[in-house]
Structure 1
Amino acid sequence: MDINSFVLFLVLGIVLVAVDGQIIYRAGSRYLENSYTDDSSAGSMARLVSVLFHLAVLGVLALLSTIDFSADSPLESVVTRLGVLVLVLAIGHAIAIKVLTRMRDRLDAEGLSQRRYEQTTESTDQVERADHEIDEIMVPPNDDKTAPSVRGFARRFNPSAHR
């Protein structure tokens, strides 16, 4: 591969990686915004994933530029290398999407657990308040003057008792 083909491949490869990385960053930050309570946190996590993507794929790009593909012309060599790079970009893109999806799923599960905990805490508080209100209700004492006696009850309803 001559120097012009080499430079053309590197320039086109860097442009493809940069464009795909920006797509991952922008779409990823919007994708994570619903799960994060703070939008800057979503942007930070998407930025970290896109930086990892850029570094990994640029490393593969550098390795691809050194591999010698048998081709009849320099243009065919560039096209072959770009084809391999596009396949690597697709794999890298899929991995980045999977990472973002895992992050979002984990955050959604944590948010659901937090909401359930808050609902349980609110229910417990309501029960405790109701118990406290019940404790404050005055119940008259159970003495002989206010309550019917067991013996009197038995005499009235059981004629064979105490005869």
Structure 2
Amino acid sequence: MSTNAYLSFLVIGVVLVLVDGQIIYRSGRRYLENSYGDPAAGASMTRLVTVLFHLATLGILALMSTIDLGDGIPGVVKRVGVLLLILAIAHAITLAVLSRIRGEQEVEAVVQRGPRPQQRVEPEPQRPTVTPAPGQPGTYPDVSPSLENRSPYSAS
């Protein structure tokens, strides 16, 4: 591989790793600070996970630069494609780690807070299913008034 192709792959790779790392850091920090745990601890854990992500992916980038996948632009494109796939896998692993940390923070917060007091739910009183017609006593009318003269129906 020529020097120009080698350097272009390294520059493209480092930029991709740094941009992805910053995205993970910024959104991961907000993700962990919004959990029930301590915001400072969330930011610290995010920094540690992000540093691990940077070190692992930059190490993979360095190893990939030594593998012969062709020369010139097609070789650089192949290397960048493989690097993008590896970055996607590393990104998913990092998100899983951040999610697990948040879950542990939430469990710890619940344990420290203690169980929530049980709220007793009172059943609603039974209401009549039929509203009485105006002028009829009681909540359960026997007969509704007729429409013509507003009097109860006759039995005959």
TM (norm. structure 1) is 0.68
What's the Cα RMSD here?
1.7
Q: Does 1:16 align with 2:13?
A: no
Distance of 1:88 and 1:63 partners within structure 2: 12
- Over residues 32-79 of structure 1, what are the superposed CA-to-partner deviations in whole Å (9 max), with x where a residue is unaligned? 012254322211111100000000000000000000013xx5000000
* More helix per residue: 1
2:76 matched residue in structure 1: 78
2:68 matched residue in structure 1: 68
Confirm or deny: 8 A CA contact 2:29 2:42 kept in the other structure.
yes
- Over residues 4-27 of structure 1, what are the superposed CA-to-partner deviations in whole Å (9 max), with x where a residue is unaligned? 000000000000000000000000
Distance of 1:36 and 1:11 partners within structure 2: 39
- How many residues are treated as equivalent by the alignment? 118
For structure 1, the 5+ residue unaligned runs are: 121-163
Amino acid at match of 1:80: K
Match of 1:103 among 101, 104, 129: 101
Distance of 2:25 and 2:36 partners within structure 1: 15
TM (norm. structure 2) is 0.71
- Decide which structure has the larger Cα Rg and report it: 1
- Over residues 99-124 of structure 1, what are the superposed CA-to-partner deviations in whole Å (9 max), with x where a residue is unaligned? 0000000111111222225869xxxx
Q: Does 1:31 align with 2:25?
A: no
Confirm or deny: 8 A CA contact 1:36 1:42 kept in the other structure.
no
| Runs of 4+ that moved beyond 4 A | 117-120
Percent of aligned positions that are identical? 56
Structure 1 pair 38–115 and aligned structure 2 pair: CA distance change class (3 A)? closer
Amino acid at match of 1:90: A
Q: Does 1:53 align with 2:58?
A: no
Q: Does 1:114 align with 2:132?
A: no
2:143 matched residue in structure 1: none
